[in-house]
Amino acid sequence: MIDMQVAVVAVTLLLGAVGLGAGGVHFRNRLKRASREELGRLAAARAALGRGDLDEATRAIAPLIESQHDVIAGHAHAIHTSIAERRGDAQAMLASASWGLGRLSRAQGHAAAALRPELMAQRALALTLLDRRDEAAAELNFLTAGAYPTWERDLFRVRLVDLARAG
């Protein structure tokens, strides 16, 4: 009987160790640093966007949208949101901003904190363009005054579009 109890305890400890190991691998992957290639692609996409080359920017961020690094994926979605805005596609803006915020929901640190307001403002603009004024106002309420450098600009843009849509 004692041998059976020892065997059960040994198997339980083994399964616990395997579970901790798998959890550690998952945690390590979430904290993984962005590779130089990913950072280079982000820089290339931002440069292409600045030049107005939307196709090149789209190609540069395509593999980054599904990056294991949440902040990199969030940046890729922010760039994609800007591309959609320049193309006049409010639905794509809304979808990409929402996905980006979803990826950033589990990210921590300064980079994620700096990117969240940008995506929220883009989401509010997309909602305004889609005549979903109440949702846009609620999104803007999450953005506190002066919480990030471009708050006034983003608020102005959303309100201007809202006034233009209202006639």
Instruction: Name the band, by pLDDT with cuts 50, 70 and 90, for residue 27.
Output: very low
Mean pLDDT of 30-43: 78
pLDDT band at 165 (very low <50, low <70, confident <90, very high): confident
If you average pLDDT over residues 51-59, what whole number do you get? 95
Res 26: pLDDT? 46
**What whole-number percentage of the chain has pLDDT above 90?**
54
Structure tokens at 131: 């005549």
Per-residue pLDDT, 15? 63
Query: What are the tokens at 139?
Result: 């999104």
Taking only the tens place, the pLDDT of each residue in 112-145 is: 888 999 999 999 999 999 999 999 988 888 887 6
CA distance 97 to 117: 10
CB 122, CB 90: distance < 8 Å: no
Provide the pLDDT confidence category of residue 35 given band limits of 50, 70 and 90. confident
Mean pLDDT of 25-45: 72
What's the mean pLDDT when you consider all of the chain? 84
Where do we find the tokens 């599904």?
66
Can you give the pLDDT at residue 80?
Answer: 97
Residue 18 confidence (pLDDT): 62
Region 49-69: mean pLDDT is: 93
The region that residue 131 occupies, defined by phi over 0 for left and psi between -120 and 50 for alpha, beta otherwise, is left
pLDDT at 31: 45
pLDDT for res 30: 45
Residue pair 46/118 in contact by the 8 Å Cβ criterion: no
